[in-house]
Amino acid sequence: MKKPEKVHDQTSCMAALNAMSDSFYVIGGKWKLRIIISLKNGNKRFNEIQRSIPGLSAKVLSGELKDLEANGLIKRMVYTETPVVVEYLLTSYSDTLEPVLNSLVEWGENHREKIRSGEI
Amino acid sequence: MKKPEKVHDQTSCMAALNAMSDSFYVIGGKWKLRIIISLKNGNKRFNEIQRSIPGLSAKVLSGELKDLEANGLIKRMVYTETPVVVEYLLTSYSDTLEPVLNSLVEWGENHREKIRSGEI
DNA sequence: GTTACCACTTACCTTTGGGTAACTGCTAAC
DNA sequence: GTTAGCAGTTACCCAAAGGTAAGTGGTAAC
């Protein structure tokens, strides 16, 4: 005899869990959201982005930009003037991250205050 | 001459960035949110939680529970009957994670569909 | 013609997170 | 008295993430 079923069935629960993991896979890690925010702040060029995020190396930035592009969050534009100019732009799809970004920032702020006030 | 200031000043922007990092620090990683969800689903005992999350080892679970307790998200209760019973319970503070959880699940579901449909 | 900037890549190393397995001290069941 | 369950801990190992430094091929400035 198994324990009684919860209000949600197992299939939908697993789906939610997997969805959550997907989110972490796409925007998790130390730099991804920072890069997106840097782009939001108007930075477009590779070195510009790198300089705006202290501690971020060219190697890691290069990899992260590829990941973000593969997931449709940014677009890499190459302008073939001389000298060649490369720009990274947020796609409109990246706007869908707003609620995630906001909830993370809000919770973090609240939590920081909670810790600071000694409530925990 | 620096570039013109954005709509947000640098101090508040850095604060938001740090808040976001805090959130990732507290609930990031492979298991933390899964453990919280397992507790939400009614699991309380150490081995019960472990069995409910395939792939999670006792060592890692032990560490994660300590972290979650240190951040006020769960409470470790020891009942000194014989045999001693240990229960892990969500605190009311853990409810504040709802918006984060929801936005992550929602975005992940949406993203999965986007990938599946070949839109990216 | 040397220096510097741009957009990267490569090779190498360290750190972190996490996995495996065994073991502890306890109780209870067979 | 052996087996099994509980709630972990310990020691050891591995892979992935990330950091460091140097190099590449081009343009442009001094």
Residue A52 is assigned to a structural domain of this protein: yes
| CATH number, position A72 | 1.10.10.10
Of A21, A18, A9, A15, the closest CA to residue B41 belongs to A9
Instruction: Say how far apart CA B38 and CA B17 lie, in whole Å.
Output: 29
Residue A4 is assigned to a structural domain of this protein: no
Tens-place pLDDT, residues B10-56: 788 888 888 998 899 999 889 999 999 999 999 999 999 999 999 99
CA distance, residue B80 to nearest chain A CA (Å): 25
Q: Tens-of-pLDDT digits for all 120 residues of chain A?
A: 444 444 567 788 888 888 999 999 999 989 999 999 999 999 999 999 999 999 999 999 999 999 999 999 999 999 988 889 999 999 999 999 999 999 999 999 999 999 989 887
Residue B12 is assigned to a structural domain of this protein: no
Instruction: Say how far apart CA A50 and CA A55 lie, in whole Å.
Output: 8
Instruction: Say how far apart CA B91 and CA B75 lie, in whole Å.
Output: 6
Q: Are B101 and A20 in contact (CB under 8 A)?
A: yes
Q: Which residues contact A17 (CB under 8 A, 6 or more apart)?
A: B34, B37
Interface test with B, best of A35, A38, A100, A116 (most B CBs within 10 A): A100
pLDDT computed for residue B94 by the predictor: 97
Cβ–Cβ below 8 Å for A72 and B120: yes
pLDDT computed for residue A13 by the predictor: 84
Q: How far apart are the first and last CA of chain B?
A: 40
Cβ–Cβ below 8 Å for A100 and B104: yes
Task: Determine whether the distance from the CB of A56 to the nearest atom of strand D is below 7 Å.
Answer: yes
Domain that holds residue A74: 29-116
Task: Determine whether the distance from the CB of A61 to the nearest atom of strand D is below 7 Å.
Answer: no
Instruction: Say how far apart CA A88 and CA A104 lie, in whole Å.
Output: 24
Residue A35 is assigned to a structural domain of this protein: yes
Q: Which residues of A touch B112 (CB under 8 A)?
A: 18-19, 22
pLDDT computed for residue B77 by the predictor: 96
Task: For the full predicted model, state whether its pTM sits above 0.85.
Answer: yes
Residue spans of alpha helices (H) in chain B: 10-27, 32-40, 46-52, 58-70, 98-116
Residue A49 is assigned to a structural domain of this protein: yes
Angle at the Cα of B4 (from A34 to A56), degrees rounded to 5?
Answer: 25
Q: Which two tokens stand for residue A2?
A: 């198994």
Specify the DSSP class assigned to residue B106: H
Total domains in the fold of chain B: 1
Q: Which residues contact B102 (CB under 8 A, 6 or more apart)?
A: A103
pLDDT computed for residue A104 by the predictor: 95
Partner residue opposite A23 with nearest CB, options B71, B104, B119: B104
Residue B51 is assigned to a structural domain of this protein: yes
pLDDT computed for residue A2 by the predictor: 42
Residue A62 is assigned to a structural domain of this protein: yes
Q: Least CA distance to A96: which residue of chain B?
A: B107
Residue B66 is assigned to a structural domain of this protein: yes
Alpha-carbon separation of residue A112 from A49, A85, A105, A106, B18 (angstroms): 27, 41, 10, 10, 9
